[in-house]
Structure 1
């Protein structure tokens, strides 16, 4: 049995839902469902009880789950041993990223990488968007994830995604009636600020930087999970891209509207690497896998 089929099966068993497995794997639900049915056809037995609220492993599925987990584990051990002979599967990956990437993309990327490169170690730092390129330039990080509107010399973006910032709000908020939100429209409502420093530079939009500096926030907090809970609790609105809110936007628990500010319409996020030094093989591999996930994230955001 192909490793990807086993991976899909394990994820569906863990989530109890093809849809949830699809969201975690960034693979179309129809593709996962098709592979599960193919697996059942090959084995000649159903693996799940189909319930109104999801899927539950039956005894045959539980037996296969144990086999699949053992098989993939042994396969990864074997790959690690073979590649260790070539010195390609050890190393240390240093990442600096703005906090939004810690909600889904980075955890999923590291989780996937650990399955394939279990001997690799990590230093992962959460920081403000405009600080990320400096950390990559200085060598404190090998890879950065941030907005890439103005990159200094010494770094370059190797993967880009259109994920502009906008206003995140709870359902039913008055601003939800707007197709685009003007900065002045935000003034009557409590604002939750992720940092005392603007999330983008004044060189990109002096108007937005002035708005950020002049506001009187209801709260300033650099934790995206906490801000997300405050927004969902109706305590205020905030300024984010869709990066950290895909699941909540998909479920309708939160809404997102773009700013009526042309300078922000095409704001991109990207993966940033140094130009003056070569990255180790294992770090290059990690970058490639993150790039694929960033593209999937962009597609998911565009569909909302």
Structure 2
């Protein structure tokens, strides 16, 4: 902590506590003459003697006692700042930032990462829920260690650590009139309330393209950028249909009495989920453990 104090002030405090220049030199590794020069300079700066010299050593003057209290407060403040800095660095070292689209953040990642954190208690997760484009940008800028997103094509500058098909499926209650079908036609949706994600999502983009190709117009009952809001609406309206990615809701379907049925339009099978890292950048051991864990969970879905 001495580096955070002005040297002469630190030397003064050591002499004050040691009671003599000779005893203080043993701790400081200075000669008596060098230490005397520092004390003399400090006394010159404050304009009054800080010690009363005696044959056996030194004792503090009134001014010296005041300055020692200041030095002790300064040292205490420096120790607190140092501890805060070190604590922050330790937190930063074990914090893994993951960028993902909302589909992953709705259910899959909280469940997966929750289990990971139970086993690896020295990790802190910062989950940034952003668009697919922003997720890639966060990787390229170094703001995130990894990203999970849905995509149609590979991105420059990133490495795809894992990928699998992520078709848009028809999510509905298991008592829905269409729930017994093995595939859903887009034209079947016209008779039911449809819940659509925001136009900026890959889910919605594919859905709109497929409808245009089949010359079908779907007027949704509800649109939202939030998967969670749409899902809750789907639970509340048993006859509704929500075009959704399977991974987003896979771990909830059985308990919520919901089903995800494929569409028969091939365009809605073109989307892929990707787990991405920055090209040319090696992850540290902790981040690699998180990556392996998440990929393992995706393979199990």
The structure with more radius of gyration: 2
**Aligned-partner Cα distance in 1 for 2:229–2:275:** 25
Asked if 2 retains the 8 angstrom alpha-carbon contact of 1:97 and 1:126, the reply is yes
What corresponds to 1:189 in structure 2?
A: 192
Q: Deviations over 1:35-85 (max 9, x none)?
A: xxxxxxxxxxxxxxxxxxxxxxxxxxxxxxxxxxxxxxxxxxxxxxxxxxx
Matched residues, number:
208
SS at match of 1:101: helix
Residue 254 of structure 1: CA displacement? 1.1
* 1:230 counterpart = 2:214: no
* RMSD over aligned Cα atoms: 3.1
* 1:293 counterpart = 2:300: no
Residue 168 of structure 1: CA displacement? 0.5
What corresponds to 1:207 in structure 2?
A: 209
Q: Deviations over 1:72-127 (max 9, x none)?
A: xxxxxxxxxxxxxxx9x943211111223224432233223323443333321122
**Aligned-partner Cα distance in 2 for 1:209–1:94:** 37
* 1:284 counterpart = 2:278: no
Summarize the alignment of residues 6-21 of structure 1 with structure 2, pairs less than 5 Å apart: none
Residue 188 of structure 1: CA displacement? 3.1
Residue 184 of structure 1: CA displacement? 2.9
TM-score normalized with structure 2 length: 0.59
Alignment CA distance shift 1:174-1:205 (3 Å): closer
Alignment CA distance shift 1:117-1:256 (3 Å): closer
Asked if 1 retains the 8 angstrom alpha-carbon contact of 2:165 and 2:269, the reply is no
**Aligned-partner Cα distance in 1 for 2:250–2:271:** 18
* 1:218 counterpart = 2:221: yes
TM-score normalized with structure 1 length: 0.58
Residue 130 of structure 1: CA displacement? 4.7
Q: Deviations over 1:180-215 (max 9, x none)?
A: 22323323322212213242586x78723858x964
Asked if 2 retains the 8 angstrom alpha-carbon contact of 1:130 and 1:201, the reply is no
What corresponds to 1:143 in structure 2?
A: 146
Tell which deviates more after alignment, 281-290 or 136-145: 136-145
Aligned with residue 154 of structure 1, among 152, 157, 163? 157
Asked if 2 retains the 8 angstrom alpha-carbon contact of 1:164 and 1:267, the reply is yes
Alignment CA distance shift 1:123-1:152 (3 Å): same
What corresponds to 1:106 in structure 2?
A: 109
What corresponds to 2:279 in structure 1?
A: 275
Structure 1: gaps spanning 5 or more residues = 1-86, 298-304
What corresponds to 1:261 in structure 2?
A: 265
Asked if 1 retains the 8 angstrom alpha-carbon contact of 2:108 and 2:249, the reply is no
**Aligned-partner Cα distance in 1 for 2:177–2:162:** 36
Asked if 2 retains the 8 angstrom alpha-carbon contact of 1:93 and 1:142, the reply is yes
Q: Deviations over 1:112-147 (max 9, x none)?
A: 332344333332112234543333233332211122
Alignment CA distance shift 1:131-1:190 (3 Å): farther
